[in-house]
Each structure stands twice: as structure tokens, then as C-alpha cells.
Amino acid sequence: MNDRTQRSEEIGELEVWCAGEEWCPVTTTSSLIGKKWHPVIIHRLLDHGPSGFNELQTAVDGISSKVLSDSLEDLEEKSLVDREVISDKPVRVRYSLTDHGRSLQPVIYAMRDWGLEHLADPSETDSPRE
Amino acid sequence: MNDRTQRSEEIGELEVWCAGEEWCPVTTTSSLIGKKWHPVIIHRLLDHGPSGFNELQTAVDGISSKVLSDSLEDLEEKSLVDREVISDKPVRVRYSLTDHGRSLQPVIYAMRDWGLEHLADPSETDSPRE
DNA sequence: CTGAATCCTAAAGGATACTG
DNA sequence: CAGTATCCTTTAGGATTCAG
């Protein structure tokens, strides 16, 4: 195992290597957004624009506050999401995509389009939801 | 090929819903290829064509045989990868993408392109991000 | 060479309750 | 509102060994 590949993004540098000494953009991208909820969160921020915490939780649907909080923190560390406190009393926070995060749009939309084209909505094909 | 119906039965249990009753293609796509090694494996199969097990393990680099085996099995169950035994003595197996798997090319390439553009190879620059 | 079988640890994800 | 704090279960991933 090449130990340079070991979660070095936490150290700040993103070193993901593949065969030989070749650096792999797919692996690296995957390590950034390859968490369960990351693509969805980014998708919602792309479509809905800046959102508050609960607003986002509703939009993602099914995610617990703890996981959403953890995910957002992770995305923030990766400079993909920006967190802004816009009011102290009551506390009000706004999450938005950074330019870096917004640049992921083609990736997220590629996933969306592929899903639409190749993964039929079960409610529209044959098997209705139980 | 009219495998849409058949495939939706295979993935029919894959009910990923988002806000309200809305089905979410991003979430669903993410649940298919959102594993650590899946995008890389698919990428290698796209670029190298049908490959043997060790060939693939070398191409992915850093993956253990167990994880590669598990990943391939998972991809097979999802009808993205095809496994073919092409020789019995000695055992020789060939993994390739199904049509369904190959259709993911735009997604994988979007990830690759984004990585190339927004995540510089650390060996070539010190500031991959803004 | 093809992997499968074990065993193990760390991390992710989730349920629930609570707080300023 | 926007989270924390616990506690818990599940899963991913890896090391090693074994076998056809």
C-alpha cells in the first residue's frame, strides 16, 4: 500500500495516487464527493441556492441532523461549501456553495442525467411503491 | 435492448426518495457508484477495456484483493460489470463493463475532467485549490 | 494465476434527546 | 433554529491466509 494515499486530505493536501506514480483525478474527485450524502447536498444547494440548516435538511430528506452537520462540516473543510452566520439572535445560518463547489455542477448534473435516463423512477415503470 | 423493465426490477428495491415523494436521480446514482472504489474500477475498465483480476488490481493500485473482489461482485449485482470465465485451466476471468456500465462514461469522465481542472496533481503544483 | 474465507478495525451512518 | 451530545449499529475496508 502506498502510504501516500492514506487520507492525506485531512492533512490538507490531496494526494491520491493510482497505478505507479500516476495521479488519478477520478480517485481524487471520488475522495472529495464520494460520501453518501455529499452529492445530494451539493445538488440541493445548486438547485435551491443558499439555504438554512433545516431548510437543507428538509430538502435532502432522510438525513439526520447529526449526519447533515457532519457532512456540511466536511464539505466546508474541503472548501466546497461556505457557512455564514447571518444572524445571532435568533441564530441563523446560511450554507452556500463556494465557487469551487459550484464548479462541480457538471459532475452532479451528469449523475442526475444518468439517473434520469438509466434508472427509471420505480413509481413510473412497473412496480408502484409499496 | 429493452432491458429497462428488467433492470428496474433488479434495482426496483432501490427506492431512494427525496423531499416529499420525489424520486431523486442523484441520490440513486450515488447509491450505485458511491463506493470508494467503484468509480475508479469503472474508469479503469473504460480506459483499459476488459481486464483480468490481477490486471485490474494493478490498474487500481492500492486495493486489496478482497475489496476488489467485493467491489466487483457488487458491481456485477448492479448489472454494471460483467464477469466471464474464459478459461478453466488455469482459471482465467475477464471483467468488462456491461452496456449499462459503459453508459456511465459521461459521469466518470465528468469526475475525471473536474479533477483535472480543479484538483491539480500535487506533484506539479503546490496550490491545488484557491 | 484465479480469487474466496476469515478475522479485524475504523469509520460512516443513524436514533434520540437535549441546548442556547 | 441550528445545531450538540450520546450511544449504538452497520458497513467499508484491509491483512492475512488458503485453495483450485
| Average pLDDT score over residue span A4-30 | 58
Sorted by where each starts, the structural domains of chain B and their CATH numbers stand as 25-116 (1.10.10.10)
3-state secondary structure at position A20:
coil
CA of B118 to C1' of D11 (A): 30
Percent of chain A with pLDDT over 90: 67
- The dihedral built from the CA positions of residue B30, B33, B37 and B43, taken in this order, carries a sign that is negative
CB B97 within 8 A of CB B108: no
Residue B57 C-alpha from the chain's centroid: 14
Residue closest to B54 by CA, chosen among B27, B90, B107? B90
C-alpha distances in Å from residue A11, one per residue of A4, A15, A29, A46: 11, 10, 17, 28
**H or E element: which one contains B74?**
helix B65-77
- The alpha carbon of residue B23 is apart from the nearest alpha carbon of chain A, in Å, by 6
Asked if omega into B90 is within 30° of 0 (cis), the reply is yes
Instruction: List the single best residue of B16, B17, B30 to mutate versus A (max A Cβ within 10 A).
Output: B30
Residue closest to B119 by CA, chosen among B108, B109, B129? B129
A80 or A120, higher pLDDT: A80
Say yes or no: Cβ of B35 under 7 A from any atom of strand D.
Answer: yes
Say yes or no: Cβ of B55 under 7 A from any atom of strand C.
Answer: yes
Say yes or no: Cβ of A2 under 7 A from any atom of strand D.
Answer: no
CB contact under 8 A, B36 and A58: no
Residue A115: what pLDDT? 93
CB contact under 8 A, B129 and A100: yes
- The dihedral built from the CA positions of residue A7, A9, A11 and A14, taken in this order, carries a sign that is positive
Say yes or no: Cβ of B64 under 7 A from any atom of strand D.
Answer: yes
B84 or B90, higher pLDDT: B84
Span A92-119, pLDDT tens digits? 999 999 999 999 999 999 999 999 998 8
| Average pLDDT score over residue span B18-37 | 82
| Average pLDDT score over residue span A7-33 | 65
Residue B112: what pLDDT? 95
Q: What is the mean pLDDT of chain B?
A: 82
CB contact under 8 A, B35 and A32: no
Confidence of residue B3 (pLDDT cuts 50, 70, 90): very low
Q: Which residues does chain B have within 8 Å of residue A128's beta carbon, measured at their own beta carbons? A: none
Residue A33 C-alpha from the chain's centroid: 5
Say yes or no: Cβ of A108 under 7 A from any atom of strand C.
Answer: no
Q: Which nucleotides in chain D lie closer than 7 A to a protein CB?
A: 1-6, 12-17, 20
Residue A82, CA atoms < 13 Å, CB-side half-sphere: 12
**Closest CA-bearing residue to C1' of C2:** B91
